[in-house]
Structure 1
Amino acid sequence: MTGERSGDAWLWDLRRRPRNPRATLVLLPHAGGSAQGYGEWAHWFPEDVRIVAAQYPGRGPRYGETPATRIEQLAQPLAEVLREIDGPLHIFGHSLGAHLGFEVCWRLKLLGRSAAAFYPSAAAAPHTLRPGRRHPGELDDATVLAQLRERGGLPDDVLGHPELLDMVIEACRTDMAVTYHYRYGPMRRLLDCPLLAFGGRSDVAVPAELVERWPELSTGPNEVHLLSGGHFYVHDHMPLVTAALRSWLGPRIPPGLPHRHRPDQHGQALRAPSVPRLTTSGAPTMPDDMVTLPIELAIGKPPIIPVPDLPDVVAATEWLTVHKRELRAQLLRHGHLLIRGLPITDADAFAALRDVLVDERAAYKEKATPRSNYGSDIFSSTDLPAAQPIHLHNENSYTLDFPGLLIFACIAAPSAGGATTVADVREVLQALPADLVQKFRATGWLLTRNYYRAAGLPWTTSFGTENREDVEAYCANQLIGCIWTGEDGLRTVQRRSAVVTHPVTGDEVWFNHAAFWSRWSLEEEVRDVLELTFGADGIPFDTAHGDGATLGEEEIRAINAAYAAASRRERWQPGDLMLVDNILSAHGRETFSGSRKILVAMGEPVLLADCSPTVEPAAAAATASH
């Protein structure tokens, strides 16, 4: 760690102190930790933010001092030291550091020097703590060591150094005494600063529901961000955590945050802003400081970001370039964004804006619906009739790689209807019956397609070739079973995972076309005509469980109900640009009347293999329909 003493024994500057810092971020270590453990953090923040870590007595340069055994012995002197620092104070504490942070913030409030924001991490809200834990003095070394291993807080290189291991165990035991004696107290104490709490969803020491209680202790704006991982989830999510902190380190609190814990309409905590680059190759590029954009949040609508008056496409590309990183971070947070008021008048203007936002274009594979091609990988969103609704779905969920980002642009808005609906598929997964999810998680889903010249897209259009050998080679490479039928027909069957994990956020999502292409999502009259024409097992599209078991009408009804509950809509206006994270959000289309011209571009391809599928993709046996 490159750092220096701040001039006070309690604080350690993790890098050279800026001359006029716009804010100070204070980092409070976990039990057994020290200031040096935060050394990496300095690299994730802009240079005009001062980064300091607390050094507890008995640690690092203070090794010879008597360690604290009560939280008051840490909180009061720290509050008095921090009181003298000019500018906004942002306080982050992990585990023990979170409880210490609460006490420091409370004392700063009493001293007339409230913190600008408080960030508790991997700790139960203090008022939820209950007595009954064993005193750490009763725990032998093996028990302390086992707890450290269980929580994932013991570096592997420590195990090979017995003397160092003894020091770590003793430091943890001492700090565990602080935690053992800590009580919230009989008096209800509320902070008046904004609060952003973090936790690991798989933390065996701190259940997520206790992390979610933190907002009850603040009257300021607040959020809870639950990330994948255990007690030391931060090790795997440094970009997400630091990006969230950067977004709160500005001169004001991000707009749109209500003055209470704000779960979504299904009770799920809002996700943290993440790194802006949606990538599956290598570490994400570290963002610069984030300038908070105004964002309008309303139930039933996608988040809307209005833009200032921009006279032309050149000005619009400049604006998007400046704000690209925050837009991508907000996209990972919400799953979809509507940017309103851009000067988009034709496909060329849209392509110019697309090129700012997309680092790599993605192909449209195994085509299923008609689209118009405007060149430069710009297409109509769909050419299906206005009276035909399009159910919510994730683009190309049935392929082995798919676009991570979709961008829609409104050139002409219909007079009625026609919204591009969106739904956060994290919410959809949570809303589905547990037994149904478990079956899909175990078996995946099966897609059967029958290609005809007279119904739907012919195979020549879907595969972009008239050569049967090319189709067979593609299917073999992409794990798709295929068989030629009739005079010029084709039947394909493929198994795919129904549940995947977002490669950047770590969120598990519902990602498939199981309901979209089920016969039970068709209007009854349409289904009857198709079955009469092509036979019950010869309709153009149908789905099943991954093991071939029938996917019934009631199951499809439950899936469509979950989509409907998570659905959001906003009427198009010319100049609207909608960003959709294709893994976090499904999209669809309402019926409409009048002229509608919505264009789409796809980018940031993602491999299914990088999304932790619960079922390996496979080609299923394709047999001729009867």
Structure 2
Amino acid sequence: MSETVPTLREELLPSFDAPGDSPYTWLRDMAGTLRDHLLVHGAVLVHGLPMDGPDSVATAREALGIARHTPTEAFNDRGDFGDGVLSPITWPGERMLCPFQEGSFSRTFPSVVLTACLTPPDGDGRTHLSDTRRLLDHLPAPLAERVRTTGWTLARTFHEGFGITWRKAFSVPDRAALEELFEAAGISAEWLPGGTLYTVRRRPGVVDHPVTGEECWFNQISFLNAGNLDPAERAIMVKAFGKYLPMNTYSGGGSPFSDDDLAAILHAYDSVRIDVAWRRGDLLITDNIIMAQGRSAFEGTPEFLVALGEDQSPRPGSRGREPEGDR
């Protein structure tokens, strides 16, 4: 992403200091206040919690009154510590992670994400938050309207011996269970030679927030597009898999996004970005519809845990309806 775009000051993100005595009782008492801040600011940072493992993250989620969310599909192989506590998605520490919203390729997704810092990164590695309510104003009008009207398409291919298997991605034991899941999830599928599974699903690219009614950019168009792969790695992928790349995104009608489209989306994320520096014991609470999360390159061996909460689906009749294709 461009380094010349000014970012918002970290101080604009509301932050609170948990007391040393009875921090989870304090968190329970503060739950309503923190939720109010989420709806206004999209994220809240709490310092000084005893975040030392999966149990502490689950305790914090319960203190906040947030119901756990179980994903219906995994992007890649991430650690599962039970009780709804996960590792962050697997991503090389030396690479920047483009902002994305958890589960935005699924019909049911989490509306809240808790990120706990057990060990902060060395140096100045930071999480990037991008306010999706403001992002649309920073996109070229034709691109914004195209995504608003037609949504986006994710094509995902599972190749035997490469990446996560479809059984693990969807947590199913066999094809019969997979077909049942696909019918409920609105995913079309085709079996290719060699046991390769090719899937396609269309999703809304812009949704209305279920509480505030605000229009929010909600997709992984940029994050999962092959055009944002390292050029050398993309060339290897294309040579190995042809058009059936492990991941790629298109418009709702199936037409490709151009390099200019992808650059514009990345620029828009940067234009509304807030940088979050980490301390040991921090808990970042984000509204998953309002805020997309990414990060800079991380140094050292940082440790984070993630808890996804509260099932949500696009509201019928809103901009969150599933689009029918290009118009």
Contact 1:441 1:497 in 2 (8 A): yes
Residues 1:307 and 2:17 aligned together: yes
Give the letter aligned to residue 310 of structure 1.
Answer: G
User: Aligned to 1:390, which of 91, 97, 122?
Assistant: 97
Match of 1:518 in 2: 225
Alpha-carbon separation, structure 2, partners of 1:558 and 1:336: 24
Q: Deviations over 1:42-63 (max 9, x none)?
A: xxxxxxxxxxxxxxxxxxxxxx
Give the letter aligned to residue 364 of structure 1.
Answer: P
Please state how far the C-alpha of 1:514 moved relative to its aligned partner: 0.9
Match of 1:186 in 2: none
Residues 1:562 and 2:272 aligned together: no
Alpha-carbon separation, structure 2, partners of 1:310 and 1:453: 50
Match of 1:426 in 2: 133
Greater strand content: 2
After superposition, residues 364-443 of structure 1 pair within 5 angstroms as: 364-443=71-150
Match of 1:234 in 2: none
User: Any gaps of 5 or more consecutive residues in structure 2?
Assistant: 1-5
Give the letter aligned to residue 463 of structure 1.
Answer: F
Match of 2:3 in 1: none
Give the letter aligned to residue 13 of structure 2.
Answer: P
Contact 1:406 1:581 in 2 (8 A): yes
Q: TM-score, normalised by structure 2?
A: 0.92
Residues 1:351 and 2:58 aligned together: yes
Contact 2:18 2:47 in 1 (8 A): no
Give the letter aligned to residue 472 of structure 1.
Answer: E
Alpha-carbon separation, structure 2, partners of 1:572 and 1:300: 11
Runs of 4+ in 1 over 6 A off after TM superposition: none
Which has the higher Rg, Structure 1 or Structure 2?
1
User: Aligned to 1:605, which of 290, 311, 324?
Assistant: 311
> Greater RCO between the two (CA within 8 Å, min separation 6)?
2
Please state how far the C-alpha of 1:401 moved relative to its aligned partner: 1.1
User: Aligned to 2:296, which of 586, 590, 595?
Assistant: 590
Q: 1:501 to 1:339 in 2, by over 3 A?
A: same
Match of 2:245 in 1: 539
Residues 1:572 and 2:278 aligned together: yes
Alpha-carbon separation, structure 1, partners of 2:18 and 2:152: 45
SS in 1 for 2:163: coil
Alpha-carbon separation, structure 2, partners of 1:470 and 1:436: 37
Match of 2:210 in 1: 503
User: Aligned to 1:550, which of 223, 231, 256?
Assistant: 256
After superposition, residues 234-253 of structure 1 pair within 5 angstroms as: none
Q: 1:503 to 1:610 in 2, by over 3 A?
A: farther
Please state how far the C-alpha of 1:456 moved relative to its aligned partner: 2.6
Q: Deviations over 1:262-288 (max 9, x none)?
A: xxx99xxxxxxxxxxxxxxxxxxxxxx
Alpha-carbon separation, structure 2, partners of 1:462 and 1:604: 20
CA-atom RMSD in angstroms: 2.0
After superposition, residues 149-160 of structure 1 pair within 5 angstroms as: none
Please state how far the C-alpha of 1:570 moved relative to its aligned partner: 1.8
SS in 1 for 2:277: coil
Alpha-carbon separation, structure 2, partners of 1:402 and 1:614: 13
Match of 1:330 in 2: 37
SS in 2 for 1:555: helix
Match of 2:159 in 1: 452
Alpha-carbon separation, structure 1, partners of 2:239 and 2:274: 36
SS in 2 for 1:487: helix
Alpha-carbon separation, structure 2, partners of 1:466 and 1:531: 30
Q: 1:615 to 1:548 in 2, by over 3 A?
A: farther
Q: 1:436 to 1:380 in 2, by over 3 A?
A: same
Contact 1:496 1:618 in 2 (8 A): no
| Aligned length in residues | 320
Alpha-carbon separation, structure 2, partners of 1:372 and 1:557: 32
Identity of aligned residues (%): 31
Give the letter aligned to residue 299 of structure 1.
Answer: R
Alpha-carbon separation, structure 2, partners of 1:346 and 1:302: 28
Give the letter aligned to residue 413 of structure 1.
Answer: P
Alpha-carbon separation, structure 1, partners of 2:52 and 2:318: 40
Q: 1:421 to 1:455 in 2, by over 3 A?
A: farther
Please state how far the C-alpha of 1:518 moved relative to its aligned partner: 0.9
Give the letter aligned to residue 445 of structure 1.
Answer: W
Please state how far the C-alpha of 1:397 moved relative to its aligned partner: 0.9
